[in-house]
Amino acid sequence: MKEVTASAPGKLMLFGDHAVVYGHPCIVTAVDQRITATVRKNGVDIFHLDAPDMGLSAYSRTLADLGKKGTPKAVCFIEHLYKRFLEKHPQQEGIVVTTRSDFSSQFGFGSSSAVTVAFAKALTTLYGVELTNHELFTLCYQAVIDVQGIGSGFDIAAAIWGGTLYYVAPAKTVNPLGGERFELPLAVGYTGIKADTPTLVRMVETQYQAEPERVGSIFADIHQIVDDAQQAIVAQDWQKVGQLMTKNQELLQQLNVSGVQLDELIQASVESGSYGAKLSGAGGGDCMIAVAEPDRQKIESALEAAGGQVMHVKLHAEGVRIES
Q: What count of Cα atoms within 13 Å lies in the side-chain half-sphere of residue 99?
A: 34
- Indicate the Cα dihedral angle 262, 189, 162, 108, nearest 10°: -60
The answer to whether 155 is a known catalytic residue is yes
Contact present, 3 and 110 (Cβ < 8 Å): no
**Interatomic CA distance for residues 284 and 300, integer angstroms:** 21
By three-state DSSP, how is residue 18 classified? coil
Contacting residues for 212 by C-beta, under 8 A, at least 6 apart = none
Q: Which of 17, 102, 155, 286 is catalytic?
A: 155
Question: Dihedrals φ, ψ of 92, to 5°?
Answer: -85, -25
Tell me the CA distances in angstroms from 218 to 33, 211, 228, one per residue in order.
32, 11, 15
Surface-to-core class of residue 183, CB atoms within 10 Å of its CB (0-12 exposed, 13-18 middle, 19+ buried) = exposed
Q: Is 146 exposed, middle or buried (0-12, 13-18, 19+ CB in 10 A)?
A: middle
Query: Could you tell me which residues come within 8 angstroms of residue 18 by beta carbon, excluding any fewer than 6 positions away?
Result: 200, 201, 204, 219, 222, 252, 255, 257, 282, 283
- Taken as a whole, the chain contains a residue count of 324
DSSP bridge partners of 188: 289
What separation in angstroms does the CA of 124 have from each of 84, 135, 245, 264? Answer: 12, 11, 38, 45
> What is the set of active-site residues?
155
